[in-house]
Structure formats: structure tokens, C-alpha cells
Chain A
Amino acid sequence: MQLTKIIERILIAIPVILGIGIIIFLIMRLTPGDPVDIMMGQAGHVSEREVELLRDQWHLDESIIVQLGHFLKDLFRGDLGMSFTRGRPVLELIRETLPATIELAVFGAFFALLIAIPIGVISAVKQNSLIDKVSMAGAFFGICMPIFWLGIILIIIFSINLNWLPTYGRIDYGAKLHTLTGFYILDSILTGNWAALKSAIRHLIMPSITLGLPMAAIVARVMRSSMLEVLRNDYVVMARAKGLGEYAVIVKHAMRNAMIPTVTVIGLEVGMLLGGNMIVETVFSWPGLGRLVVSSIFVRDYPLVQGVVMVYAFTFVFANLIVDILYTYINPKISI
């Protein structure tokens, strides 16, 4: 039954993603700026014939409706088109860059949860204590801090001054990593290449912290308020009254219930992590999807932007589905 529901949800996601694809298709076409003009740049000789041929090649000389028809026809064949500027299939470009983005998002989220949940719980348990005030001030700082700035500060401290961590990229050249999945951490473990694993982790530390810190700040605050609410419930008093230890009360009884709103926020934040990726990938020269889409927006590479946005949409929908499934695990009274 549960599985049927999950499949149903996945099927419902298809028109959502398709709808987003059509919306982004229209938005890109309605955004001022001609891809051929931008490609030709602010220099040199360009012949009218050349411009005409490129427009024809990219179907820009046809009406938006006809162009949309081409887009949908290709889409149903599983083809996201050819990138205008790179002359390669969009799907291939996404396949090359997506693992880098997912790896960074996963480690960013991992870092965020690793610090946010304990901080949220401790702050709630020790409400109004110094530790609570310091944590919440830190969380406030984390929310306010521009990640662009944070990334640069980390580079200055850990790369230039301490020379501990590399400034850019995913892995040192020479790590000789044989890529199987494109996820460097996983690939280096699977192939037993420990030098590559070390190198990949060193490269991940600063981008993960930069990406994860704002999420950590939000999750910590939500976890704290949610815990505070739960701790005031009768069943917590009851648990204490029947003589359960503080650890059991907090972790087994209170925390599990307090996790529901936190998981919702985490689900939304995973989507936000992808958005944040664009900045972090630029600062740390991380070869991911975010950097790809930023450069393609400026040059009006319509097929590439459409393809990447659809991947983002899929991730959002998928993350929310996972959250819904997690609800049922945390609270069996909830069904999908």
C-alpha cells in the first residue's frame, strides 16, 4: 500500500517537472537578450549570413510555439537538446557535473545536521543558559552571514594563512582516481584509493562548511523551538515521573517527536542547498551544476538552462517525497 502511494507520488511529480520545464522555456524566451548576439561577443567581424545560419540551427527564427513543440518532442524522447554555446548534448553536460553538486550538497547537509541537531537539543534542554544564548546568537550569525563572504574568509584562513586546505577544485591532479560513479568520495572508497579519498575530503571541507552553515543555523533554531514545545508536554513529565533517565527522556521520547518540523525544514533546505551551490561552486571553483547554470544564464544558453532547472525541480520534488516518507517512519500515525 505504502509502495503504491510512493509510486503514485513519483508519477504525480512528472507533470510538475514538465510544467516547470515549460515555464522555464517560456521565461528564457521572454527574457531580453539574443543568444546569437551574445555568443558573437563585443568584438570582431560577424557576417549577417553567419547570424542567420546560427538562428536557423537553433530554431530561433521560428515562433515560440514551434520552438516549444521542438522542445517537447525532444523531451519525450529523453533528449534535452544541444547546448548552444558548448555544442554538446545537455544531458551529457548535466551527467558530467551533477555528481559534483550532489556530493557537495550531501556533505553540506551532513555537516549541517551534525552540528545543528545537537545544538538545537542542548539549547532547548538548557533554555536561557549561556550555552543557549551563545548557540542561538551563532545561529543568527549563520543565517545572516553571506555564504560568499564566509567562503572567502575560510579560504583566507585555512588556505592562505594556515596552508591546511586547498583553495579550489574537487581533487588534486595526480590522485589517479578511477571514476565509477562520479562521486569522488564513493569512487575512492570503492577502488580503495586512499590518497584520492584524502584529497577529495580535503577539498570538500571548506565548501561543505560554507554551504552547510546557513542550513545548520536554521535547523538548529527550528530544532530548539520544536524541542521546547515537546518538552512541555505531559508525556515528557510522565516519562520523568516514572523515573526514566534524562537521556532516555530527551533522546527517545522528546527528540523523536521534535524531529517532525525539523525534517520538513531539512527537506526544503536540501532544495535551498542546490541554490546555494551556485555561489559556493563559484567561490571554490567546484565543477558542478551550479557553476554551469550561472554561466549559461548569462549567455542565454536556453537548452542548458532548461535542462539544469528541470534537474533542480526534480531534486526539490524528490527531497520532499523523501521527507514525506520519513514522516511515516518518525510518526507512524501519519500516512503519505
Chain B
Amino acid sequence: MKREAWLLVSVFLILVMGLCLLSGCGPTDTTPEPVAEDEEDEVVVDDDYTIVVGLSQTILTLDPANHRDRVTETVIRNIYDGLVTRKPDGTVVAEIAESWDNPEPTIWEFKIRDGVKFHDGSDLTVEDVKFTFDRVIQEEAMEGETSPRKGLLGPLTEVEIVSEDTVRFILEEPWPILLAMLPHQQIVSKAYLEAVGSDIATKPMGTGPFKFVEGSIDDRIVLERFDDYYGGSPDIPPVGPAPAARVIFEFMPEVSTRIAAIQGGDVHIIHNIPPDMVGTLDADPNVNVKMVDGTRMHMFEMNVTMAPFNDVRVRQAINYAIDIDAIVDSVLLGYATSVAGPLLPHGFAVNPAIQPYGYDPDKAIELLSEAGYGDGFELVIDTEDDLKDVAYAAASMLNGVGIEASVRIWDWGVLRDQLIAGERMMVLGNWGNSTLDPSDLLVPKLRSNDRGNYSLYANPELDELLDAAEIAVERDERAALYYQAQEIIYNDAPWVFGYVRQEIEACRANVVNFEPSTDSRINLHRVALE
């Protein structure tokens, strides 16, 4: 009898091993490398190396004007360059534009660098720059459709050609963050677009360090070095063509697969690593974990139109009751930074006078009693699956001050409608602020009735300050307006001021010149293998 059982197990193992042998597998270097044209019997390693990147989702398109997705932009940005770009720390520097001028609050002029070529060998001209921006800002300019990136250019209404190397941007009203928003736009070729039309979504052609070779947005994208590359931004050395001969983007939605792939040597770079996986990767001598302060603000938003959060004392009490530093240390394992107020600590115009509420449960209880909630109340913290651990930790801290807090996990699409309708009490969420400017954080999140204002906070005084800062030209003047805005927000406490997570990425130990960026973009122009 036992013999038969063993026989069965053996048959199964033989079957698996047989399939392995049939396919010729065995311990091999599994890094995908190209086969020489004339070799078909086995995979042969090319002389030039390939960098393989494991991304956390599939991308949506390869058309720079037809998406609103960070990961999609990461791939596109290696094929296309913009007028300006960002350094890993978020500073905006010149790229295709050599220089710029802001002669009037509503006029910007960009001088285009000489010698920039598209991948088809044609020269980039001011016509291409104008065409690129017209395609985004004009309604129905993309074969009858409107670009979903139009809003990213705010009040830009017109682009004029001034001379052979200069374009003028005309704005409806002053918009000081134009430069900070421009890295999100990439220059396309007018002639190519007119020839291929909507096929640009699958056949991109830009001026970036890599040119598109093959692939599809659901499978993999293969790029090759563009040898005639003008060199990229002089502010981010080294300047010149990319060292890597080839770049492959693979799409791996499951984090365990990404971790396994980098540990197994199948990929060289992965991103979007949760804090609890850092230890596993740190222990692997073949992998280096890299991180940088991110630009996504995490906060608990309290519905100020609903009791008990219509009382500022309760909102302040919640700020005292949740120990953000403890959450950062124990739940996020230190891979985050707590914030004192509503702005990113490394962003523009952070008011130094604002200090964190700090963890003080006694003060929280006192404030709750003053507000008439000495016996606590029932509270549901709404959030998404990937933030649930933080929400549970906060709920347990709130239980400590007598609030019966629980957590409910939602699909974001379902939750958002309820938040806008004012039907929920408190939500733990986040908001991207890649410009590091208060404008695209405070305006959508806290101006009355704005798009992401889930606390439903409405304060005319704050609205006035934010609107004034939107069009203020002088940097100091803007900073002063934002200082005041922060004080109001801090005192009114529509949020529990939370934290900014670090962007955690990893590369194989032989990868050089790879630095994670604050905006989570993976720029491979200068990345090489040892």
C-alpha cells in the first residue's frame, strides 16, 4: 500500500520535473537577454546590457497627453523629454528648454535648446512645442477628444511662436506654479502625430533617452538607447546618451512577485515596496533598498458638517489622541515622516511656527469633556485596503480616550461618492503633491467645495488666502499667504495631520546611478550596471 502512495507522489514529481527538463530549465541566469538574430536554439547574452524594471501596475497608454497616471508617466518619461524636468529631490531644472523668462505675470517665454532630435532623426522645433501644448489645452484637439491633462496646465490659454527658438506661453491669470507643473508635459512631434494619429498610444516617438522598440501596455515595453540623444538636462550630470543599451518595463501587480523577481535576479529595479518587506530585501546582499521622502500627504479628514466633528474642540482632541509618531515608528516601521500641519515638510512655504499637536491623551479627554463628549462617541474610520493598518492603530488609540472607533475598508470609487455627499464621519486617505507647492494640495483639499475636500471644510477667510496665493507673483508674498493659511487650518483642525511616506524602491547591487525620486518617477537615463 505504501508503495502505491509513494508511486503516486513520484508520478507527480516526475511530471513536474519532466516538464522542467522538456523545457530545458535548470539553474540559469534568468535575466532576460536578447537572442542574437541567427541563434535560435538558446538564449544568448548580448554584449550590451539590459535594465529590467518591475512596475507595480500595467500602464494605460504611451500617448503623453491621454492619461492621468503616475506609473504610465514613468514609462513615457523615458521615451519623451519635457521642456523642464525634476531632479530626484523635486527641484525643477531645464531639459529641452535652455532657459526661460517670466516678463509679465501672465507671460512665460521658453528658449528651446538647439540640436534636440526626435527618434526618427528629425529636429525638434518650436512648432512641435506649440503643437504639443495646443493638443493638451485645446478642447477636442486629440482627434475630437479632449486631453485629460488639460487641468494640469491651469490657466494656460495659448502658446505662441516668438522666433525659431522661442515660444511664449500666455496665461489667463498669473499662475506661479506653471514651472512646477511643466515636468508633467512631454513634447511630441507634430509631423509624426499628424501621420500616425491615435496610433501614438501604441507607437510612441519622442526625444527622450530611449526609443520604443516593441511591446504592449499589457505585456512588456522594450526600449533601446537613442544614440543621437542630446544628453538631457545639464543640471543632472552626466549628460549624454544613456549607458544602458536596452530597458524593459515589466508589469508585476503583485508585490510578492516583484520581490521574488528582484531576489531571483529576473529584474534590476522594482518600486512601490511596502515597509514590511524592506527587512526581507535588506537581508539580501544582492539587493539595495533605496528611499526618498515621497510627495503624498496622508491625513485623517473629519467631516466638519457632522456632529461631533462640527465642534473644533473635538477635532483638536482627535489630533491629541492619535499618536502619529508611534504609528510612523511601529506601523510604518519608520519609513515615513510625521507632519506638523497641512503641508509636506520638505515642500514650499512650510510655516516654521507650527508645531505638531503631539500625543496628549489627557488633553484629548479634557477637550472631549468640554465639548460634551466626555463619554465618548461611536466613530467609523473609513479607508482603503492599503491604509488599513494605520487606521486600525488610530482606532485603538481613540479607544484609549473613550471613543468607540472601528475601521471600515472600502473600494475608493464607492467611498468617494459618499464622502462628497457628506455621509461619512472620518476618512484616512492621501493626496499627491508632486509639485511640492501648497497650491495643488491645499486648494483641492481645503478650499470650499473643491474636488478633494472630503472634510467639507468651508472657511471664506481661508478661501481668500488660497485664491490670493494662486495668483500672487512674488515668492515671499505667496509664502506669507500660505503661512497664514496654515495657521487657520492648524487651529481649525479639519484633519488629523498625518504623515508622508517614503518612496521605497530597490535595485540589484550591481545597479549604479539609480536614485528614487520624490515624485516616484523612475528615470533610467543615467542608470548603468557594474
Contact = CB atoms under 8 A, between A and B. Distances in A.
A329 B405 CA distance: 63
A16 interface: no
Interface residues of B, number: 97
A93 interface: yes
B253 A291 contact: yes
Interface string A79-117: 000000111100001001100100000000000001100
Contacts of B2: 130
Given A45-B154, A130-B5, A202-B23, A287 B219 contact: yes
A42 B8 contact: no
B444 interface: yes
Max chain A Cβ within 10 angstroms of own Cβ: one of B7, B219, B296: B219
Given A41-B432, A287-B218, A163 B264 contact: yes
Contacts of A175: 35, 43
A332 interface: no
A170 B382 CA distance: 38
A176 B148 contact: no
A205 B260 contact: no
Interface in B52-73: 52, 54, 57-58, 60-61, 63, 66-69
Interface stretch (A47-55, A222-230, A252-260, A315-323): A47-55
B261 A283 contact: no
B253 A168 contact: no
B433 to A, nearest CB: 7
Contacts of B27: 162-164
Interface in B418-438: 418, 429-434
Given A42-B452, A205-B20, A119 B8 contact: yes
B304 to A, nearest CB: 20
Contact of A205 (B5, B19, B33, B412): B19
B146 interface: yes
A46 B451 contact: yes
B198 A57 contact: no
Contacts of A126: 4
A173 interface: yes
A249 interface: no
B416 interface: yes
B417 A33 contact: yes
Nearest to A35: B413
Interface in A125-170: 126, 129-131, 134-135, 152, 155-156, 159-160, 162-170
Interface stretch (A7-15, A190-198, A239-247): A190-198
A118 B414 CA distance: 48
B8 A131 contact: yes
A130 B57 contact: no
Contact of B218 (A37, A53, A93, A205): A93
Given A168-B252, A195-B41, A88 B61 contact: yes
A174 interface: yes
A49 B28 CA distance: 55
B154 A40 contact: no
Interface in B4-22: 4-5, 7-9, 11-12, 15-16, 19-20, 22
A97 B20 contact: no
A23 interface: no
B272 interface: no
Given A53-B146, A164-B27, A174 B432 contact: no
A43 B433 contact: yes
B1 interface: yes
A164 B20 contact: yes
B380 interface: no
A159 B248 contact: no
B146 to A, nearest CB: 4
B240 interface: no
B34 interface: yes
Given A119-B8, A298-B411, 5 more contacts: A49-B139, A88-B198, A131-B7, A167-B266, A193-B40
Interface of B: 1-2, 4-5, 7-9, 11-12, 15-16, 19-20, 22-28, 30, 32-35, 37, 39-44, 46, 50, 52, 54, 57-58, 60-61, 63, 66-69, 139-140, 145-146, 148, 150-152, 154, 181, 198, 201-202, 216-220, 222, 248, 250-254, 256-257, 260-261, 263-264, 266, 296, 411-414, 416-418, 429-434, 439-440, 443-444, 451-452
Closest 3 CB pairs of A and B: A33-B413, A43-B432, A174-B34
